[in-house]
Amino acid sequence: MPRSDSPIIVALDMPRTEALALAGSLRGRVRWVKVGMTLFYAEGPRIVAELQDLGLDVFLDLKLHDIPHQVAGAAAEIARLGVGMFTVHASGGRAMIAAAVESSRRVAEEAGLAAPAVLAVTVLTSTDDEGMSEIGINATAADQVSRLATLARDAGVDGLVCSPAEAARVRALLGDDGLIVTPGVRPVGSAPGDQARFMTPRAALDAGASHLVIGRPITASVDPVAALEGILAEIERV
């Protein structure tokens, strides 16, 4: 599978030195890497620039969730970093989501950069129906995903983050062009870890996902390159 066509986003949930070494070893095999809260809060914007210098596109997964003014400001700074995608929480509401979309697009245009895709996180893959009830939401995880996906779509996002279990219904809401990024992906034979709702890579793509976030099955492997190649082979099987 050519690099530009690979749907895998490798989650670099590790210290900077390890993240850069791993990213370097995977360069040419994947297009995307994910920088989450732990790595970004430890290293700041420089880690984004260092990964971009390796020729990789960065998915900055900070899950912004605050009042619209704060989120608009954060989205503007993220846009200036030149990342390819970033996340907000759909549960922040329509005004907050729209503020992130407008701010990031405006600032990117002013800076002469490509606008990052704004993705709205629906329900975390670690949350099941019991977890929904614990936080006072009287709906299944799947129904809440649909509700938040519709809200975020109407607020102008470029795509959604959901578990593979909801990818088909989200694809029906977004149509053919929207991005659907699915964590909760585990290759055949992998342990689920802390994911409550998960699928294999091939099943997630067949359900409608456009991108697959995969971390530990690659990053915790004794041979990450071989692990990645195995997943790519699994995806290509029909």
What pLDDT is stored for residue 199 in this prediction? 85
What pLDDT is stored for residue 3 in this prediction? 46
Residue 88, burial from CB neighbour count under 10 angstroms (0-12, 13-18, 19+):
buried
> What does pLDDT average to over the chain?
92
Nearest by Cα to 201 from 229, 170, 169, 171:
229
Strands 179-182 and 85-89, sheet pairing: unpaired
Bridge partners of 118, per DSSP, are 86
**Position 107 confidence tier, pLDDT thresholds 50, 70, 90:** very high
What separation in angstroms does the CA of 49 have from each of 83, 100, 210? 9, 21, 25
pLDDT, mean of residues 58-85 = 98
Q: Residue 49 sits in a domain of what CATH number?
A: 3.20.20.70
What pLDDT is stored for residue 184 in this prediction? 81
Domain residues for the domain of 222 are 3-236
Please tell me whether residue 147 adopts helix, strand or coil conformation. Answer: helix
Cβ burial 197-218 (10 Å sphere, 16+ → b, else e): bbbbbbebbebbbbbbbbbbbb
What pLDDT is stored for residue 56 in this prediction? 97
pLDDT, mean of residues 182-199 = 66
pLDDT at 144 over 50: yes
What pLDDT is stored for residue 188 in this prediction? 64
What pLDDT is stored for residue 1 in this prediction? 38
Overall pTM surpassing 0.85 (yes/no):
yes
pLDDT at 68 over 80: yes
What pLDDT is stored for residue 194 in this prediction? 46
Q: Does residue 63 have an active-site annotation?
A: yes
What separation in angstroms does the CA of 181 have from each of 46, 49, 118? 25, 23, 11
CA–CA gap between residue 137 and residue 55 (Å, rounded): 42
Q: Which of 20, 32, 51, 63 is catalytic?
A: 63
pLDDT, mean of residues 94-113 = 98
- How many domains would you assign to the chain? 1
**Position 190 confidence tier, pLDDT thresholds 50, 70, 90:** low
pLDDT, mean of residues 141-151 = 94
Highest mean pLDDT among 3-12, 60-69, 137-146, 192-201: 60-69
pLDDT at 195 over 70: no
The tokens for 82 are 């030149």
More confident residue, 56 or 3: 56
